[in-house]
């Protein structure tokens, strides 16, 4: 039977391991074979089984500073290279290109190093950088037959959805940092969803504590903005917002942009528009492909001699002379979907047609590059279908449907909904990806990731309320029930906010604003007013006379509806916000549970 060790016990075991010690003399720099990195494919795992070699899977990202350090120092060490050549099959994976593996090993950050048996069973996953001497001890410990894991697997603690929602609210409240703002105290990461949930709690549940969390968090996000080129750095260390890691990755740009834009719209505070524009400026100048799609990331470091701390301390002229850190020009559907959603929110807050056009061009480019049949591939040349790509592009298509009223986005969203069927789990919810014929052992098991169930559930609820099909609300509820487990919730920490927002939106009072009118100025003004409503659960649709679910009364009109009732038509854009508040208040009186 495999021996199990707690994290502390494992550390003590490895420090005392007889196969190596801290005092071990360094090997000479005599020639050693470079690491023979294999692809993630069936042959790599089959060779491990035939040869009896263990498997090392290194999950990295091109923008990751510590990945570069580990490649140079640890995988460049002659002792490590010789040991890997004799006893290991080494597989390297790009986390951005393989979101299924990124999700599976996200707890271990990047680089994540997974040490496996020849049968592809996980022996030891490692978090982050390991220097050569320590890494040698780890390799030898696993190779010697001691199969160890970081900790015993958590005991399942199933919950009803209402209890899961309460547990999620309490978890986010505990993780809020009152000293510096934001969620989490050591690493200040600008996640957008916890801020969006704070806005929801403040405005829908009238939660004063949530309201107090908003401005300090946004001020922290603003501290991560590059004052020269714009855009947000990935995160900051030591519990403050002013010691950044300088990578600029697309998901962070999306989260920060959405947070500023949503705060500007929902709180009606224009001061948050300027920092949102700084992110948009960076996207336009540095991360936009010629066809309008968004690239994946930009490295922190200019080169081996110029780390990000040096480069990003320079002014504009010095940067222009030196050049730019490398941009990863990969185009991924999920990252583009997230950015489209964020830009659509900024358009709702500002009414700027150029922002909307930027979002539209990106979605059109991704549809042209990555759509195959009804589904989206993750990137060009991708083989699997990934849940994150379908979920975020569905959200993007629905955001553009609301922002433009164009039928093409309704048609594309309907296709993406059909694509989800290939990922449906028989017991409810969605697999992270389609079956991977190249995976082996434990890695062949498909899972239902907790956070992504929240992302897709929010898309399904929005599609339901925009009239895209029957059964979508039930599908959303089933996805949330599939991961309704307190132990899983705890393991995701501050990243649970997308799931929590889905739980909130499942039961919260909502409002659909349906605009009916010809293509003219008065109709556009009503549509603009509907998009700008400071309500977290408003949904907007634009229809033309004779092609709307509501009658055209002879002049442009807005109908306010929920699942049970509709208002009389509203014709004056200036009256729309007040009419929406009265309609929601009437619903609360009729049903006090709301």
> Do 244 and 236 meet the contact criterion of CB atoms below 8 Å apart?
yes
In the chain, what are the domains?
A: 7-143 (3.40.30.10), 171-507 (1.50.10.10), 511-590 (3.40.30)
Closest CA to 326 of 344, 304, 347, 346: 304
Q: What's the pLDDT tens digit per position in 256-297? A: 999 999 999 999 999 999 999 999 999 999 999 999 999 999
pLDDT band at 4 (very low <50, low <70, confident <90, very high): very low
Question: What is the distance between the alpha carbons of residues 517 and 554, in angstroms, rounded to a whole number?
Answer: 8
Backbone angles phi, psi at 470, to 5 degrees: -85, 155
pLDDT band at 147 (very low <50, low <70, confident <90, very high): low
Q: Where are the beta strands (DSSP E) in 325-472?
A: 327-328, 371-372, 375-376
Query: Percent of the chain scored above 90 by pLDDT?
Result: 77
pLDDT band at 564 (very low <50, low <70, confident <90, very high): confident
Res. 3: pLDDT tops 50: no
Token pair listed for 320 = 């222009």
Question: What is the distance between the alpha carbons of residues 28 and 483, in angstroms, rounded to a whole number?
Answer: 52
Q: What's the pLDDT tens digit per position in 487-507? A: 999 989 999 999 999 999 999
Residue 152: the pLDDT is 53
Q: What's the pLDDT tens digit per position in 7-30? A: 333 333 333 333 333 334 344 445
Mean pLDDT of 369-377: 97
- Give the dihedral sign, CA 96/100/103/106: negative
Q: What's the pLDDT tens digit per position in 330-346? A: 999 999 999 999 999 99
Residue 7: the pLDDT is 37
Res. 587: pLDDT tops 90: no
Backbone angles phi, psi at 306, to 5 degrees: -130, 85
Question: What is the distance between the alpha carbons of residues 51 and 74, in angstroms, rounded to a whole number?
Answer: 24
Residue 356: the pLDDT is 98
> Do 53 and 143 meet the contact criterion of CB atoms below 8 Å apart?
no
Residue 528: the pLDDT is 98
Question: What is the distance between the alpha carbons of residues 244 and 240, in angstroms, rounded to a whole number?
Answer: 9
pLDDT band at 561 (very low <50, low <70, confident <90, very high): very high
Residue 80: the pLDDT is 94
> Do 38 and 89 meet the contact criterion of CB atoms below 8 Å apart?
yes
Query: Percent of the chain scored above 70 by pLDDT?
Result: 92
Mean pLDDT of 171-194: 96
Token pair listed for 575 = 């009256």
Percent helix, strand and coil across the chain, each to the nearest 5: 50, 15, 35
Question: What is the distance between the alpha carbons of residues 134 and 207, in angstroms, rounded to a whole number?
Answer: 48
> Do 307 and 300 meet the contact criterion of CB atoms below 8 Å apart?
yes
Q: What's the pLDDT tens digit per position in 498-539? A: 999 999 999 998 999 999 999 999 999 999 999 999 999 999
Tokens 């990806």 sit on residue? 433
Helix-helix angle 387-404:353-370, to 10 degrees: 140
Of residues 329 and 442, more confidence is placed in 329
Q: How much is the mean pLDDT over the chain?
A: 90
Mean pLDDT of 342-371: 98
Question: What is the distance between the alpha carbons of residues 226 and 107, in angstroms, rounded to a whole number?
Answer: 27
| pTM for this entry | 0.85
Q: What's the pLDDT tens digit per position in 75-127? A: 999 999 999 999 999 999 988 888 888 888 777 777 989 999 999 888 888 88
């Amino acid at each position: 039977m495999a021996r199990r060790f707690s994290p502390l016990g494992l550390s003590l075991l490895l420090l005392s391991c007889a196969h190596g010690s801290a005092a071990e003399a360094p090997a000479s720099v005599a020639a050693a074979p470079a690491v023979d990195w294999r692809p993630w494919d069936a042959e790599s795992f089959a060779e491990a089984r035939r040869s009896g070699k263990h498997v090392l899977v290194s999950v990295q990202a091109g923008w990751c500073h510590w990945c570069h350090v580990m490649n140079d120092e640890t995988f460049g060490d002659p002792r490590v290279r010789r040991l890997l050549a004799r006893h290991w099959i080494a597989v390297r994976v790009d986390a951005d290109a393989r979101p299924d593996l990124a999700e599976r090993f996200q707890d271990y950050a990047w680089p994540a190093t997974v040490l496996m048996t020849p049968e592809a069973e996980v022996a030891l996953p490692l978090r982050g950088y390991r220097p050569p001497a320590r890494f040698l001890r780890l390799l030898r410990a696993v190779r010697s037959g001691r199969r160890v894991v970081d900790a015993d697997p958590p005991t399942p603690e199933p919950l009803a959805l209402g209890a899961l929602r309460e547990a999620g609210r309490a978890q986010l409240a505990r993780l809020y940092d009152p000293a510096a703002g934001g969620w989490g105290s050591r690493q200040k990461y600008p996640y957008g969803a916890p801020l969006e949930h704070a806005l929801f709690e403040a405005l829908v549940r009238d939660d004063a504590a949530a309201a107090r969390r908003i401005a300090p968090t946004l001020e922290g996000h603003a501290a991560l903005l590059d004052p020269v080129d714009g855009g947000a750095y990935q995160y900051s260390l030591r519990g403050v917002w002013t010691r950044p890691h300088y990578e600029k990755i697309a998901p962070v740009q999306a989260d920060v942009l959405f947070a500023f834009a949503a705060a500007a719209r929902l709180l009606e505070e224009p001061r948050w528009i300027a920092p949102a524009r700084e992110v948009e400026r960076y996207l336009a100048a540095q991360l936009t492909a010629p066809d309008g799609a968004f690239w994946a990331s930009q490295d922190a470091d200019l080169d081996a001699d110029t780390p990000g701390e040096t480069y990003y301390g320079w002014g504009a002229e010095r940067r222009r002379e030196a050049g730019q850190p490398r941009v990863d020009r990969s185009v991924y559907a999920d990252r583009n979907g997230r950015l489209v959603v964020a830009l659509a929110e900024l358009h709702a807050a500002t009414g700027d047609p150029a922002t909307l056009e930027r979002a539209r061009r990106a979605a059109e480019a991704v549809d042209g590059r990555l759509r195959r049949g009804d589904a989206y591939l993750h990137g060009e040349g991708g083989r699997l279908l990934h849940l994150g790509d379908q979920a975020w592009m569905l959200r993007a298509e629905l955001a553009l449907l609301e922002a433009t009223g164009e039928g093409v986005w309704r048609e594309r969203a309907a296709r993406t909904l059909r694509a989800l069927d290939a990922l449906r789990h028989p017991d409810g919810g969605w697999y992270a990806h389609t079956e991977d014929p190249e995976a082996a052992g434990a890695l062949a098991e498909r899972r239902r990731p907790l956070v992504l169930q929240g992302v897709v559930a929010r898309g399904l609820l929005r599609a339901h309320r925009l009239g895209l099909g029957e059964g979508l609300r039930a599908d959303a509820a089933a996805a949330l029930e599939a991961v309704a487990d307190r132990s899983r919730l705890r393991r995701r920490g501050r990243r649970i906010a997308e799931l929590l927002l889905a739980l909130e939106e499942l039961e919260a009072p909502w409002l659909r604003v349906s605009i009916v009118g010809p293509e003219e100025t008065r109709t556009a003004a009503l549509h603009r007013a509907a998009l700008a409503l400071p309500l977290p659960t408003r949904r907007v649709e634009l229809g033309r006379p004779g092609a709307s679910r509501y009658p055209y009364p002879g002049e442009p009109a807005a109908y306010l509806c929920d699942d049970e009732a509709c208002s009389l038509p509203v014709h004056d854009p200036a009256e729309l916000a007040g009419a929406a508040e009265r309609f929601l208040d009437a619903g609360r009186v009729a049903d006090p549970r709301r």
